[in-house]
Amino acid sequence: MKTQNQKAWLFVLPVLLLVAFNAIIPIMTVVNYSVQETFGNNVFFWEGLGWFEQILRSERFHAALGRQFLFTALVLVIEVPLGIAIALAMPRSGFWVPVCLVTMALPMLIPWNVVGAMWNIFTLPDIGLLGYFLNHTLGITYDMTQNPVAAWVTIITMDVWHWTSLVVLLSYAGLVSIPDAYYQAAKIDGASNWSVFRYIQLPKMKNVLTIAILLRFMDSFNIYTEPFVLTGGGPGNSTTLLSIDLVKIALGQFDLGPAAAMSLIYFAITLLVSWLFYTLMTKDDAR
């Protein structure tokens, strides 16, 4: 006979509390702002879904969203293949393994605002190592504070430098977990390097790659600190990504209502894309 009571709820309570303070309450605060208008002094006016409508129709939001998708797409298109390529080229055993791993991990250990500051100084046309070299040694006009293309090249390069390592390390972990027997079987079949990659390494790396791409998508889509420190969204609005625009609206213009509505839309997009991607990747439930 089974005992029927409500004790189970007690066991769920700690997690519920944690999630409440960690996620639900902060989000509900934002939801609260997103449907009201305030001019400070704790005075609120009901606004309904007006802010959402305004944000979704706003040219400025569309532009920032477009830049955000462009940034994330470029970053993924460069970092994922590059990361896999570096992981494939790394030694599987011997003295150089720890050297490579530590070298790879270094960029990820640097605080994000320091990364922004580093690349800012690095690329200054007159005193930065790279900026000076490009402008004065190679004679290429390069100034990311003036030229949008230069600014984009710089933030993409910075992100690639900062985060390709994540893809490398995860791919590498997937690669070293493949038993030698697979490579031997391929050798006996006479399979080409491409076949080994396509039919052994890639399928065996699929799980870690899914996680790597997911993490890189979320991080790059939500990126704030590095481009803020590096370009501040400029020149003009050319590198004003979603998060930078959001902070401008919330803190610069103190438009709390529209900023809150925008946060929720931003959050929903991140969630939706992540969910779609993960569902697609794990659909056939293959190893």
Partner 1 sequence: MALELKAITKRVGQVTHVKPTDLLLEPGHFNVLLGETGAGKTSLIKLMAGLDRAASGQILMDGQDVTTLSPQRRNISLVHQFFVNYPHMTVFDNIASPLKVAGMARSEIQGRVEAAADILQLRPMLHRRPHELSGGQQQRTALARAIAKESKAVFLDEPLANLDYKLREELRDQLPELFAGRGAVVVYATSEPEEALLLGGKTALMADGRVTQFGPTARIYRNPQNIASAQVFSNPPINLAKASVSGGMAHLGDAVSWRLEGNAAGLPDGSYDVAIRPNHVTPVQTGGATVPLVGRVLVTELSGSESSAHFQFGADTWVSLAHGVHVFRVGADHTFHMDPSKCFFFGADGKLAA
**What is the nearest approach in angstroms of partner 1 to the Cβ of residue 160?**
29
* Nearest to partner 1 of 112, 199 (CB atom): 199
* Nearest to partner 1 of 60, 204 (CB atom): 204
H or E segment and range at residue 37: strand 36-38
**What is the nearest approach in angstroms of partner 1 to the Cβ of residue 193?**
13
Which one-letter DSSP state was computed for residue 48?
A: T
**What is the nearest approach in angstroms of partner 1 to the Cβ of residue 94?**
12
**What is the nearest approach in angstroms of partner 1 to the Cβ of residue 200?**
7
Interface residues toward partner 1, by CB under 8 A: 179, 181-182, 184-185, 187-191, 195, 199-200, 203-204, 286-287
Which one-letter DSSP state was computed for residue 178?
A: S
- 235-268 burial, b if ≥16 CB within 10 A, otherwise e? bebbbbbbbbbbebbbeeeebbbbbbbbbbbbee
Q: Which residues contact 125 (CB under 8 A, 6 or more apart)?
A: 131, 132, 134, 135, 142, 143
Measured between alpha carbons, how far apart are the two ends of the chain, in Å? 41
* Nearest to partner 1 of 203, 235 (CB atom): 203
Please tell me whether the peptide bond between 14 and the residue prior to it is cis, using omega within 30 degrees of 0: no
User: Rounded to an integer, what distance in angstroms lies between the CA atom of residue 232 and that of residue 41?
Assistant: 30
* Nearest to partner 1 of 32, 193 (CB atom): 193
Q: What is the CA radius of gyration of the chain?
A: 24
**What is the nearest approach in angstroms of partner 1 to the Cβ of residue 187?**
5
SS3 content of the chain, % helix, strand, coil (to 5): 75, 0, 25
**What is the nearest approach in angstroms of partner 1 to the Cβ of residue 97?**
18
Residue with tokens 């910075």: 158
Residue 131 contacts residue 142 (beta carbons within 8 Å): yes
* Nearest to partner 1 of 205, 262 (CB atom): 205
* Nearest to partner 1 of 130, 281 (CB atom): 281
* Nearest to partner 1 of 147, 207 (CB atom): 207
**What is the nearest approach in angstroms of partner 1 to the Cβ of residue 277?**
19
